[in-house]
Chain A
Amino acid sequence: DTAVSQTPKYLVTQMGNDKSIKCEQNLGHDTMYWYKQDSKKFLKIMFSYNNKELIINETVPNRFSPKSPDKAHLNLHINSLELGDSAVYFCASSQDSGASGRKFFGPGTRLTVL
């Protein structure tokens, strides 16, 4: 009965590979997000989807492509992985895209690029 789940929890891969992280929420929320947390614990938003439509796309390299097959899922695909992509990636969801604001976060996916 996990609210926001992500797979995998850990991902270790070589530079240049392509990988995907999956996220699912069972809260019935309309909006989902991807955040990146670097080694200094700084959290930065990457993408936001509302009802399967992209509404926020921060200055993220084109190698990162989110995909939302339905409003309960938001997957993150990363092409040509680089060392600097190593971080913890958090998926989150909220009821709507307005200012009411409370976010529910997944447990995170720790990506290590070797």
Chain B
Amino acid sequence: SQQGEEDPQALSIQEGENATMNCSYKTSINNLQWYRQNSGRGLVHLILIRSNEREKHSGRLRVTLDTSKKSSSLLITASRAADTASYFCATDTGTASKLTFGTGTRLQVTL
């Protein structure tokens, strides 16, 4: 069954604004990862946060993890048109490194 659910399903913002995407999951995890998928392309790994971490930064990305609520958020600050893509959270429960993906958030950044 699907592990991650993302919210919102679609998000449209203007360049320079911040974009926040949320992910909720159902079972205990070893880590949670965020991926980006540009239209017609494969997925690109953005950031990984382990279950014992609460926050992680990478450039304009900030990820939080709340294991008590089984949720994570991805914040993209000062968005750019090039950030337009679908963003997926994926949970790793430690079962042979099987990643279970969420439903994705489609982000549109307009000029």
Residues of A within 8 A of B (CB): 4, 31, 35, 40-45, 48, 50, 55-56, 90, 92, 94, 96-108
Contact = CB atoms under 8 A, between A and B. Distances in A.
A55 B43 contact: no
Interface residues of B, number: 26
A101 B49 CA distance: 10
Nearest to B31: A101
A107 B103 contact: no
A105 B30 CA distance: 20
Contact of A103 (B41, B45, B94): B45
A40 B97 CA distance: 24
A9 to B, nearest CB: 10
B25 interface: no
A10 B64 CA distance: 37
A105 B97 contact: no
Contact of B99 (A42, A45, A107): A45
20 contacts: A4-B42, A40-B103, A42-B103, A42-B104, A43-B88, A48-B96, A48-B98, A55-B96, A90-B43, A97-B97, A99-B31, A99-B92, A99-B97, A100-B97, A101-B92, A101-B99, A103-B33, A103-B35, A105-B35, A106-B42
